[in-house]
Amino acid sequence: MGRSRRYENSLVAILFFTWGTIFLGRMSALYLAPYFAPEFHLSHGQVGTVASVLAITWAASTFAFGALSDRVGRKPVLVPAVFAFSILSWASGLAHGFHQLLLVRALMGTAGGPAWSTMTALIEESSPSDRRGRNIGLVVSAAALVGLAAAPVLTTQVAVRWGWRPAFFVAGIPGLVISVLLWRFVEEPAERSGIHEKPSLSEYLSILRYRNIWLCCLGATGFMSWLFAVNVFAPLYITEVVHESATTAGFLLGASGLGSFFLGFLLPSLSDRWGRKPTLLLMAAMSAVVPLAFLAPPLYVYPAVLASIVFVANSGQGIASVVLVLVPTESVPAQFRATSIGLATLAGEVMGATAAPILAGTLAQKHGLAVTMWLAAAGSGLLFLVALFLQETRPARAATLAIKPLIGPNLPKQPDVAD
């Protein structure tokens, strides 16, 4: 028991830094765009394409390689993915034109997607049921702390002093160290030792019979629409419409991101007690407050008050833990956990991370930037509606409320990890 708990805590720590490092690499191009875009003579559309191509390849690979890890194991997929992602982050600094950078970022998405689905499945399978939400929340919240709070400071400070190319190199170093730690210390979950049969294609498709899977795909679309509409367009709205300074915009978004970090592990932890469904309903309602607060001009008179509001309302990382990981994995048989994460993420990345910002930008050209904040709030509203129809999956509660497929025979589920 002691060794198992120590390993669990060590695994959470390693995967926390794994996900933080990967998100650092993903976001680095956005923060460094003001430095490389003039050198490459890139238009705003081309900068957006650099971000979008990573999202598209990420979406495809998180599903495909997540399904592969359900067949061959987590570690054989996770370790090479993190190593390749880090090497490709270095390679971003070697690009000498738009097309080279586009290719490298596309390959980065191909490597980063598998890391997400296998990493979250690994921590889910290695956690006792009463700490599953807490552990998933801790790991996923690293995106807010490292990718949204530390990354812009780290990358831009390096770029100012030594150039944008060394900034990409620095962003890739932690991942190389992390990949060694993963190879050395991470073990295949004991639960998977009881899974001997390799699923067939028809069995993979069987997860589509579960209502929760369809709902999570729809909820992921709403969540990522909210996430990217806020992060892409809120800075523009604050500076161009409200006419506040860029430093004020950075202060407000930094407060929001920091709040997302704390709520990112607090609320999923509470879902272990309250249940996934009521917690997701609460988080969906809270997240809608963020774009609506940015739309309230009187609040800008008191920036500290506005910062406090978005700090306590940004539940984004907690939403990711529940709708992309906990509910999908707890709704399907154990041998399809990474596949279920990959499928929900695929829907969210394609519809929310790629299509929604394009739609928001088009609408903003015609109706003004305020419409982007309303679109973000609508994404939260969609998530709230989806949560109303979810079946509860928290193990203690789901034991009496069986998760059954919509059609066809129910598939056997593996027992939860023992305490």
My answer on whether 123 and 175 are in the same domain is: yes
| DSSP-assigned states of every residue in 1-24 | -HHHHHHHHHHHHHHHHHHHHHHH
Cα-to-chain-centroid distance, residue 72: 24
Q: Give me the pLDDT at residue 340, please.
A: 92
Domain boundary among 153, 186, 219: 186
Are both 216 and 345 inside the same structural domain? yes
pLDDT mean for each 10 residues of the chain (419 residues) = 74 92 84 82 76 87 90 90 92 90 92 91 86 90 80 79 88 89 86 58 80 96 92 85 84 86 92 94 97 94 93 94 94 88 92 85 87 95 97 70 54 43
- Greatest CA separation found in the chain? 62
Q: Are residues 173 and 231 in the same domain?
A: no
Same domain, 295 and 174: no
Q: Which domain holds residue 89?
A: 1-186
Same domain, 177 and 214: no
Between CA 396 and CA 226 the distance in angstroms is 31
Give the integer Cα–Cα distance in Å for 178 and 85: 11
Distance CA 336, CA 60 (A): 17
Would you say residue 415 lies in a domain?
no
Domain final position from 156, 186, 216: 186
Residues 128 and 225 in one domain: no
Could you give the CA distance from residue 174 to residue 177 in angstroms, rounded to a whole number? 5
Q: What is the CATH number of the domain that holds 82?
A: 1.20.1250.20
Q: What is the pLDDT of residue 416?
A: 44
419 belongs to a structural domain = no
Q: What is the pLDDT of residue 126?
A: 86
Of 186, 212, 240, the domain-final residue:
186
416 inside domain: no
Angle CA 164–169–172, to nearest 5:
130
Q: Is there a domain that residue 264 lies in?
A: yes
In-domain check, residue 418: no
CB 21 within 8 A of CB 28: no
Q: Are residues 178 and 284 in the same domain?
A: no
Same domain flag for 30 and 68: yes
Q: Do 154 and 210 reside in the same domain of the chain?
A: no
- 273, part of any domain: yes
Q: Where are the beta strands (DSSP E) in 242-338?
A: none
Is residue 142 located within the same domain as residue 88? Answer: yes
Q: Write down the pLDDT at residue 2.
A: 45
> pTM for this structure?
0.82
Report whether 47 contacts 37 (CB < 8 A).
Answer: yes
Assess whether 164 and 297 both reside in one domain: no
What's residue 419's pLDDT? 40
The pLDDT value recorded for residue 403 is 58
Residue pair 213/344 in contact (Cβ under 8 Å)? The answer is: yes
Assigned domain for 357 exists: yes
Q: How many domains does the chain have?
A: 2
Same-domain pairing of 178 and 212: no
Specify if 16 maps to a domain: yes
